[in-house]
Amino acid sequence: MSLPGADGPHLFVVSGPSGAGKGTVVRGVLGQRPDVWLSVSATTRPARPGERHGIDYRFVSVPEFRAMRERGDLLESAEVYGNHYGTPRQPVDRALAQGRDVICELDVQGAVSVKRARPQAVLVFVEPPSLDDLFLRLRGRGTEDPPSLTKRMKAAYEEVKNKGLYDHIVVNDAIDKAVERLLLILDGTETRKGPHTQ
């Protein structure tokens, strides 16, 4: 891993179990670093109420997704919780070429693929303080029906086992602290791998 900050823009991958707070922490960071560009993934998952096409995701059909993948338009792609997700390559490269740091929110398969394709990428794992907290957050968000909640909790056990693959682990206990820590990682001043909950 090369340290971000000094030598130009970097690609950051943020992963972690569904409900760990990735979206919340990343939003907090973007509030303070509007120059950072957040990648908008393509997905075949149906939009949740309030989600906007082109802002939260590019919502596409399965044939459209396959066509993007076959054209080589995706930097990485994976099947997650029964739907396809992928990172459009061109917007990421455009932002990096403009000198902007880029954040992609991906599952662990995506993180591994990006690291293989772009060894300079910095992988960050956002972890909930406990699986009980994760369940409460996921349920509290009110976006998942019971089967989806169960699927996401089962996946969480597996995902947490993979956290050793990441360059940094951020425990999302207090939101402000987690945001602060991700900001340090972006700035290249965080040398600890973590977890760090203080």
Binding residues (CB under 6 A) for ligand 5GP: these are: 18, 41, 45, 76, 78, 80-81, 85-87, 105-107, 109-110
In the complex with ligand 5GP, the residue whose CB is nearer, 82 or 191, is: 82
3-state SS of 84-132 is: EEEEEHHHHHHHHHCCCCEEEECCHHHHHHHHHHCCCCEEEEEECCCHH
Nearer to ligand ADP, 5 or 23 (CB): 23
x/- string (CB under 6 A) for ligand ADP, residues 126-165? -----------x--xx------------------------
Residues 112, 76: Cα–Cα separation, whole Å: 9
Find the binder of ligand ADP among 108, 172, 182, 194 (CB under 6 A).
172
Q: Which of residues 7-66 bind ligand ADP (CB under 6 A)?
A: 16, 18-24
Cα–Cα distance, 19 to 16 (Å, whole number):
8
> Is 194 among the residues that bind ligand ADP (CB under 6 A)?
no
CA proximity to 152, closest of 166, 174, 134: 134
